[in-house]
């Protein structure tokens, strides 16, 4: 068997695409508050873009409220501006170095928009998984062509890569369906 084809590495890379999807979906807003909603937002701090959790403490004191306690008083305006300008539809209220962000109720149109974003994230994840599959299949074909791998072994490994791809894509579909159901729940 060829050393250049590592099925565990292929699985690990596919798993990475799934983990990325999970974190993207966690950042999508549903009917209840979550500290991870602010994860995609970057703040211009000290001359560079930084995630909010590196300039402030984000907490959820109530089911419909997010609290952001900013460590540096000079950063309050920048954090508030970043949250307002994000496409999350949030309107923070400033109270000293604290920002209180009430989560408005989602209307039907906004729920559908968020569900579309979830589907876009899922498609990006599927594409990533397919790229990993393509890389694995190319490596198998190259090893077979170079004589490092027999025809039967190559077919067996190709089947394993395809099976892993199918499993990961099914998991993507399951994750996005669950998130869509959570988003559409009133």
Q: What is the pTM (predicted TM-score) of this model?
A: 0.68
Mean pLDDT across 13-42: 81
Measure the CA dihedral 72/77/79/81, to 10°. -170
CATH 3.30.1310.10 at 32-102, yes or no = no
**Domain spans, the chain:** 7-25+107-184, 32-102
CATH 2.30.40.10 at 7-25+107-184, yes or no = no
Tell me the per-residue pLDDT of 161-181, one tens digit each, with 9 for 90 and over.
999 999 999 999 999 998 888
Tell me the per-residue pLDDT of 81-119, one tens digit each, with 9 for 90 and over.
888 887 777 888 888 889 898 887 777 887 888 888 889
Question: Phi and psi for 100 in degrees, rounded to 5?
Answer: -105, 130
Tell me the per-residue pLDDT of 119-133, one tens digit each, with 9 for 90 and over.
988 999 999 999 999
Q: Which of 66-70, 78-82, 106-110 has the lowest mean pLDDT?
A: 106-110
Pairing state between β 42-45 and 48-51: antiparallel
Q: How far apart are CA 78 and CA 71, in angstroms?
A: 12
């Amino acid at each position: 068997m060829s050393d250049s084809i590592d099925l565990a590495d292929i699985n690990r890379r596919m798993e990475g695409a799934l983990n990325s999807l999970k974190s993207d979906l966690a950042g999508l807003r549903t009917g209840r508050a979550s500290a991870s909603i602010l994860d995609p937002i970057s703040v211009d701090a000290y001359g560079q873009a930084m995630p909010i959790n590196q300039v402030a403490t984000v907490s959820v004191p109530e089911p419909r409220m997010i609290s952001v306690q900013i460590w540096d008083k000079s950063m309050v305006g920048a954090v508030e501006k970043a949250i307002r300008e994000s496409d999350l539809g949030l309107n923070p209220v400033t109270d000293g170095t604290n920002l209180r962000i009430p989560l408005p109720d989602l209307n039907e149109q906004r729920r559908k928009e968020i569900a579309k974003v979830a589907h876009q994230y899922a498609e990006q994840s599927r594409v990533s998984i397919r790229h990993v599959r393509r890389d694995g299949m190319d490596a198998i074909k190259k090893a077979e062509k170079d004589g490092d791998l027999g025809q039967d072994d190559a077919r067996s490994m190709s089947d394993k890569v395809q099976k892993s791809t199918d499993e990961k894509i099914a998991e993507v579909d399951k994750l996005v369906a669950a998130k869509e159901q959570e988003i559409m729940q009133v």
